[in-house]
Amino acid sequence: MRYLVLSVMMIMSLPSFSAAGYREDFAQEFLSKTWAGERIEENACIDCHSSEQMKPAFQDIVDEWKKSWHAQNTIYCQDCHGGDPKDPSVSMTHQRGFVGSPSARQVPEFCGKCHIGILKNYLESGHGKALRATGKGPHCTVCHGSHNVQRANIDIINEQRCAKCHSYERAKVMKQALFLVEKKAGEIEDGIKALRRAGVYPDEQERALFNTQAEFRTLFHTVDVSLVNERTDEFTRKLGAIEKDIQGTFIELRSRKNFSAFLMALFSGMGIVIFLITKTPDK
């Protein structure tokens, strides 16, 4: 009987030998390919602009963009430049909303479509006014770049960049004014990372930090040192509340640990008691 079963199974496995090479590419990528990759949409701008025939000056743009924070947040070429990414023959026409490449004076509005609060502060600032008046003020891409835009932080303020048009002294005072709040925000970010390592999903804290930080960084664009100093207290307080929340979560985690340790001791104790009962001789 069992030889029969064994041989049936042997025969069953025969077709698999004949099916060798079956779906080879499938086998190669099996279980290791990235499923998500398949689902990135076709995009004519990217296809054409990363092809060989693109003129050399433009060739790096797609690669730069791919590294950017915008790309990670699904901001594509057409979200900034307009146009139609579906149909390559008409993608760069005005009919499809293409706006081309902005001139220096147009850049603030170009970016400000989405970063509305920053645009407002920027336009009212010394930098924005100077750009309007003389074209000498720095616009967004001077500080952030246009395609490889990364997450912002105060290291953008450095001698190399800020001393081009005026003394670095001015920039330095600004950096000092930002420092306190940015440092605290950095600490909270570490706290959130620690929470995540502890298995917590720090969604609320993360969102609170993000909002506070965004509001504060918007403030920078006024390049008004006294305004920043004036509101530093307010931001420190807001961040303090988030910090307290994080600490509270850690305390909660510790009390959970104590509780489960108590249960562990309880059941171990009951185990020992039962063990002693089994060892007492029967009457």
**Site residues (CB under 8 A) for another protein?**
1-2, 5-6, 9, 12-13, 16-17, 19-23, 26-27, 30-32, 34-37, 39-40, 196-201, 203, 253, 256-257, 259-261, 263-264, 267-268, 270-271, 274-275, 277-278, 282
56 binds, among ligand HEC, another protein, none (CB under 5 to 8 A by kind): none
Closest approach of Cβ 246 to another protein, in Å? 13
Closest approach of Cβ 226 to ligand HEC, in Å? 9
122 binds, among ligand HEC, another protein, none (CB under 5 to 8 A by kind): ligand HEC
Closest approach of Cβ 120 to ligand HEC, in Å? 9
DSSP H helices, 54-114, are: 61-67, 69-72, 77-81, 107-112
- 202 neighbors 248 (Cβ within 8 angstroms): no
The most distant pair of C-alpha atoms in the chain lies apart, rounded to whole Å, by: 105
98 closest CA partner among 109, 85, 83: 83
Say how far apart CA 113 and CA 70 lie, in whole Å. 14
194 binds, among another protein, ligand HEC, none (CB under 5 to 8 A by kind): none
**Cα separations in angstroms, 181 against 143, 168, 190, 218, 240:** 20, 21, 14, 13, 10
The single-letter code of the amino acid at 170 is R
**Closest to ligand HEC by CB, 127 or 238:** 127
Residues in the chain, total: 283
Closest approach of Cβ 205 to ligand HEC, in Å? 16
121 binds, among ligand HEC, another protein, none (CB under 5 to 8 A by kind): none
Say how far apart CA 71 and CA 50 lie, in whole Å. 15
